[in-house]
Amino acid sequence: MTAPLVSFVIPVRNDAERLKHCLQSIQANRLDGTELEVIVVDNESTDGSADIARTLGARVLRSDASSVATLRNIGAREASGDILAFVDADNEIVSGWVRAALDTLRMPHVGAAGALYHAPSNGTWVQRTYGLLRGTPAGLRDVDWLGSGNIAVRRELFAELAGFDGALTTCEDVDFSNRVRDAGYRILSNAAMKNVHHGDPETLWAVFQGERWRGQDNLRVSFRSTLAWRALPSVVIPIADLMLIVAGLAGTAAAVIGVPAGLWVAIAALALVGAGALLRALRVAFTEGTRHPLQLTQLWLVSCAYDLGRALSLIARAPHRNVSAAMVPAR
Residues 177-225 pLDDT 10s? 999 999 999 999 999 999 999 999 999 999 999 999 888 888 778 777 6
Q: Which of 184, 201, 218 is the last residue of a domain?
A: 201
Supply the DSSP symbol for 4. Answer: P
The residues with which 10 forms a beta bridge, in sequence order, are 40
On the question of pLDDT at 28 being above 70, the answer is: yes
Q: Return d(Cα 254, Cα 257) in angstroms, integer.
A: 5
Confidence class of residue 246 from pLDDT cuts 50, 70 and 90? very high
What does the pLDDT average to over 124-143? 93
C-beta separation of 73 from 148 below 8 A: no
Let me know if residue 289 belongs to a domain.
Answer: yes
Assess whether 35 and 82 both reside in one domain. Answer: yes
- Judge whether residue 232 has pLDDT over 80: no
> Is residue 141 domain-shared with residue 271, that is, in the same domain?
no
Residues 122, 11, single domain; the answer is yes
Residue that wins the pLDDT comparison between 93 and 229: 93
Query: What pLDDT score was predicted for residue 288?
Result: 84
**pLDDT (mean) for 234-255:** 93
Determine the distance from the C-alpha atom of residue 299 to the mean position of all C-alpha atoms in its chain, rounded to a whole number. 19
- Helix ranges (H only) for 109-202 are 125-134, 155-160, 172-182
Are 37 and 106 found together in one domain? yes
Look at residue 216 and tell me if it is in a domain. no
Report the pLDDT value the prediction gives residue 4, as an integer from 0 to 100.
Answer: 85
- Per-residue confidence band for 1, with pLDDT thresholds at 50, 70 and 90: low
Domain count, the chain: 2
Co-location of 172 and 244 in the same domain: no
Is 330 a domain residue? no
Q: In whole angstroms, give the CA distance from residue 218 to residue 233.
A: 11
Domain, as residue range, for 287:
229-325
103 lies in some domain:
yes
**Spatial contact of 40 and 16, defined as CB atoms under 8 Å apart:** no
More confident residue, 235 or 116: 116
Q: Give the lowest-confidence range in 58-67, 190-199, 309-318.
A: 309-318
pLDDT cut 90: percent of the chain above it: 78
Is residue 172 located within the same domain as residue 243?
A: no
The letter for the amino acid at 286 is: F
Same domain for 250 and 176, yes or no, is: no
Kindly give, in sequence order, each residue whose CB lies less than 8 Å from that of residue 86, ignoring residues fewer than 6 positions away: 8, 9, 10, 72, 148, 149, 150, 151, 152, 153
Quote the pLDDT of residue 331: 34
CATH of the domain at 63: 3.90.550.10
pLDDT tier for residue 320 given thresholds of 50, 70 and 90: low
Show contacts of 222-228: CB within 8 Å, 24+ apart.
Answer: 222/174, 224/175, 224/178, 225/178, 225/179, 225/181, 225/182, 226/182, 228/144
Averaged confidence pLDDT in the chain: 90
Co-location of 244 and 320 in the same domain: yes
Give yes or no for a contact between 77 and 57, defined as CB atoms under 8 angstroms apart: no
Strand pairing class (59-62; 36-42): parallel
| Residue 260 domain flag | yes
141 strand-pairing partners: 189
The answer to whether position 206 is within a domain reads: no
- If one compares 33 and 253, the residue with the highest pLDDT of the two is 253
Same-domain check for residues 131 and 279: no
Determine how many CB atoms are found less than 10 A away from the CB of residue 291: 9
DSSP letter (8 states) at residue 119? P
**pLDDT value of position 228:** 64
Containing H/E element for 52?
helix 49-55
Look at residue 223 in the predicted model and tell me its pLDDT: 72
68 contacts 331 by C-beta, under 8 angstroms:
yes
Last residue within a domain, chosen from 186, 201, 216:
201
Whether the CB-CB separation of 42 and 50 falls below 8 Å is answered with: yes
Instruction: Please state the rounded mean pLDDT for residues 308-314.
Output: 93
Residues 46 and 134 in one domain: yes
Q: Of 1, 71, 112, nearest to 328 (Cα)?
A: 71
Contact 39, 10 (CB under 8 A): yes
Pairwise CA distance, residues 290 & 84, whole Å: 37
The pLDDT score that the predictor gives to residue 32 is: 64
Which helix or strand (DSSP H or E) is residue 12 part of? strand 6-12
221 found inside a domain: no
In terms of domains, do 154 and 22 share one? yes
Please tell me whether residues 27 and 175 are part of one structural domain: yes
Domain membership flag for residue 183: yes
